[in-house]
Amino acid sequence: MTNVVRVAGIYDEDGDGDVRRRELLVGMGGLSGLALAGTALGTDRATAQLEAGLAGAGSPSPIALPELRRQLGGTWKAFTATRYTGIAERLPGLIGSAAGGRDASTGAEREAYSAALADAYVLACELSVKQGRDGLAWVYGDRALQAARDTGRAPSITTATQSVGMAMRRMGHYTAATDLLVRTALGLGADKGTAPP
């Protein structure tokens, strides 16, 4: 069964239905063009925000770890829901807060802030990939890996390594990406069956 959509006013008794149909189609085409332009503008804005995150444009003032984790969790949910522009706007602040917290703390608290920073960088890497900004993705992946290594935590290190490896592959550096992934796995004891969960 075929559904028929009727648009009021397209056909009338004066016989100018074809003209009105053309006007409707032209108007719809204009809306499509605006939608595409909006998408491009959104992408440009997201890229500008991603670049701002690299330049340290976010607030360096730390926020409490539970709040930082809550905000990161919400931002990851937005990423899963493909609300990329909103994420790009939040990332510089999250990165700045995580970096500020790391720099202002010591011991286990510093490691926890470093893990949050690595997570924020991984998110920025993933978003850069979605935006087709592979160069930015590689830089963010590398920063994620540096922050993850500061934690000494296997989950942070493996996630960050996977991100930077993905960015390297997208830039055509297949062998180097594979070497990085294998070295990390071996460094975590994957060949001995001693790797942490």
How far apart CA 135 and CA 133 sit, in angstroms, is 6
**Global confidence as pTM:** 0.71
Full domain range(s) for residue 177: 44-187
For the chain, how many structural domains are there in total?
A: 1
Over residues 111-117, the mean pLDDT reads: 96
> How many residues are listed for the chain in this entry?
197
Confidence of residue 116 (pLDDT cuts 50, 70, 90): very high
For residue 168, being part of any structural domain is answered with yes
DSSP-assigned letter for residue 58: S
Is the residue at 60 inside a domain?
A: yes
In a domain, 144, yes or no: yes
Residue 69 tokens, joined = 């984790």
Tell me which long-range contacts 15-20 makes (C-beta under 8 A, separation of at least 24). none
Domain membership of residue 50 (yes or no) is yes
Average pLDDT over every residue of 107-130? 96
Q: What is the CATH number of the domain that holds 87?
A: 1.25.40
What does the pLDDT average to over 45-52? Answer: 74
DSSP state letter for 22: H
Residue-level pLDDT at 57: 55
Whether 12 maps to a domain, the answer reads no
Q: Which of 32-41, 71-80, 121-130 shows the lowest mean pLDDT across its residues?
A: 32-41
Q: Please tell me the distance from the alpha carbon of residue 152 to that of residue 184, in angstroms, as a whole number.
A: 12
**Amino acid (1-letter code) at residue 77:** K
- Residue 81 falls within a domain, yes or no? yes
Q: Tokens 């009105």, residue? A: 20
Higher pLDDT, 119 or 193: 119
Degrees (nearest 5) of the Cα angle 78, 50, 168? 95
Q: How far is CA 108 from the centre of its chain?
A: 27
Mean predicted confidence (pLDDT) in 65-77: 96
Residue-wise DSSP of 79-106: HHTT-HHHHHHHHHHHHHHHHHHHHT--
pLDDT, tens digit, 9 for 90 and up, residues 9-44: 433 444 554 444 444 334 444 433 333 333 333 457
Single-letter code of the amino acid located at 18: D
- State the pLDDT at residue 84: 84
Confidence at 196, pLDDT banded by 50, 70, 90: low
Residue 83 or 67, more confident: 67
d(CA 146, CA 157): 9
